[in-house]
Amino acid sequence: MSRALWISIAAISFLAILCSSFSPESPTDRRILVLLDDFAVKSSHSLYFNSLRTRGYELDFKLADDPKIALQRYGQYLYDGLVLFAPKAERLGGSIDAAAVLDFVDSGHDLIIAADTNASDLIREIATECGVDFDEDSSAIVIDHTSYAVSHTEGDHTLIASDHFIQSDALLGSKKIEAPVLFQGIGHSLNPANSLVLKVLSASSSAYSANPKSKLSSAPTLLGSTISLVSVVQARNNARVLISGSLSMFGNRFLQAGVQKSGSSLKHAKSGNEQFLIELSKWVFHERGHLKAVNVRHHKAGEADEPSMYRINDDLEYLVEIYEWSGTSWEPYVADDVQVQFYMMSPYVLKSLSNNGKGQFSTSFKVPDVYGVFQFKIEYQRLGYTSLSLAKQIPVRPFKHNEYERFIPTAFPYYGASFSMMAGFFIFSTVYLYSK
C-alpha cells in the first residue's frame, strides 16, 4: 500500500474522530474555535477561557484574519462551536466569511459573538441574520444615569450594573445571581419578526444609546428596557447562539471587580459576570437544557404489543421516555407540561402526559369515533430547552360488519314493538277466521 494512501486514510480517520465529539448521545460541544482580533485577548480574558477548559473543552485560538483557518475540511466540520471575540474584524481569514459562519449555525453548531463599540459590518451582518440589530450609530454606547456602577469615573455612566435577567433556570441555572453584571458596550434591539431570539440581560428603563462625547441632537433610537445587552437564539435545528454587545464583560477585570449599583448601599465583593457567563455558556454549549425522546410506543389497554391499526372506540395507552443531558450523562426529565395530540387534520384528542419521575411519560384515552389515518404528535417547546417534535402514524378503522352486537340494548323497545305487533296480528287473524 502506497504512502499517499496511508496518509489519506489517516487524515480521514483523524477527521472522523474530530467530528464525532458532538453526537446525539453526547451533545455537549468539545472542540471550540476561538477567533481573536489580538492574542492579547487570550490573557486578558483568561479566566473565562479557563472556565471552559476545566469543563473539558478544547480551545483552538486563532487570529481572525489568519489565512489558514477553516471551519470544515473534506466536507466535515472540524469544530463543534465557534467563539468570535473579534469585534473589529472586517473580514475573516481563510475560507470563512459571514455566510460560512451562518452555515455553521445552520448545520447545528453553536456560536458566541462578542461585539463592542465600533463593531465591524461583518459582526453586524452576522448578528442581523440571527435576529439582533445593533445601534446604527457606530459610535453609540449604552448610557444609564441611574443604574451605573458607582466605582466608575464620576460623570461617566457607560459602565452599567444590570440585574435585569431573564427568569429561566434552564438558561441561567437554578442558583440565583446575587450581584449585578458589569456591562460596557453597544446595545441592540431584537427583530420582532424573529420569535427565536430572547433577551437574557437587558438595560433598565432609564438607559439609552448615544455617543457620550456629543450632545443629543435627536431622540436616541434605542431607549429603556427595550435595549438588550446580551441575547440568545435557539434555532429550529436546536443550534444555539449568544450575542453580547460587550467584549469587556468577558474580561478578567470585569469578572473580578467589585460592584455597587447606584442608589444601593449594598456593595458586592465580586460582580455577577463570572456566574452569569459560565451558566450561560453551559446552556450555549448544550450542557443544560438539551432533551431527547426515546422508546416512543403505544398499545391497546391491557396489551403490550403495538398494533398495526386501531378500531374506533378502542382504549389505548401512549408512552414516551424523555431525558435531559446534564453535561456528563442523561438524567430523567421531570415536567408536567408535555402533551400529546391524536391528530388528523386537527387534534381530536389533546392529553397531558403524566411522568413517573424516572423519565417515562404516559397517558391513556379512547380512540375517537372517527376513522382515518391519525398521528400521535408531540410538539414540545419550553423556554431554554431544545424542542421535541415527534410524530407516529396509525390508521383507525370502523367496526367490521360482524363486530357489531347482534342485539343492541337500546333497540329493545323497537324489538318489543315488532314482536307485539306480530303477536297481535296472529291473534286477530285467528279470532277473525275462526269466530262465528
Residue range 392-409: mean pLDDT, rounded: 84
Q: CB neighbours (10 Å) of residue 233?
A: 22
- The CATH architecture one would assign to domain 21-284 is 3-Layer(aba) Sandwich (3.40)
Could you read off the pLDDT of 227-277 as tens digits, one per residue?
Answer: 999 999 999 999 999 999 999 999 999 999 988 888 777 888 999 999 999
Q: Is 214 helix (H, G, I), strand (E, B) or coil?
A: coil
The more confident residue out of 263 and 96 is 96
Give the pLDDT score at 414. 86
**CA-angle at 345, arms to 343 and 348, nearest 5°:** 40
Could you read off the pLDDT of 25-76 as tens digits, one per residue?
Answer: 778 778 999 999 999 999 999 999 999 999 999 999 999 999 999 998 888 8
* pLDDT surpassing 90 at residue 366: yes
Could you read off the pLDDT of 282-292 as tens digits, one per residue?
Answer: 999 999 999 99
Q: How confident is the model at residue 363 (pLDDT cuts 50, 70, 90)?
A: very high
* pLDDT surpassing 50 at residue 420: yes
* pLDDT surpassing 60 at residue 13: no
**C-alpha cell, 338:** 408535555
* pLDDT surpassing 80 at residue 153: no
Whole-angstrom distance, CA of residue 340 vs CA of residue 236:
20
Whole-angstrom distance, CA of residue 321 vs CA of residue 142:
46
Give the pLDDT score at 266. 84
Q: Are 87 and 119 in contact (CB under 8 A)?
A: yes
Give the pLDDT score at 436. 65
Residue range 220-233: mean pLDDT, rounded: 90
Give the pLDDT score at 17. 42
Residue range 157-184: mean pLDDT, rounded: 92
Q: How confident is the model at residue 15 (pLDDT cuts 50, 70, 90)?
A: very low
Burial of 229 (0-12, 13-18, 19+ CB in 10 A): buried
Which residues have a Cβ under 8 Å from the Cβ of 110 and sit 6 or more positions away? 29, 80, 81, 82, 239, 240, 241, 284, 285, 286
* pLDDT surpassing 50 at residue 225: yes
Residue range 323-327: mean pLDDT, rounded: 90
H or E, element range at 82: strand 81-85
Q: How confident is the model at residue 281 (pLDDT cuts 50, 70, 90)?
A: very high
Amino acid 332 reads P
Could you read off the pLDDT of 103-116 as tens digits, one per residue?
Answer: 999 999 999 999 98
Q: CB neighbours (10 Å) of residue 413?
A: 8
Q: Are 182 and 149 in contact (CB under 8 A)?
A: yes
* pLDDT surpassing 70 at residue 204: yes
Give the pLDDT score at 18. 44
Sign of CA dihedral 142, 147, 149, 152: positive
Specify the fold of 290-401: Immunoglobulin-like (2.60.40)
Q: How many helices (H) and strands (E) does the chain have?
A: 9, 28
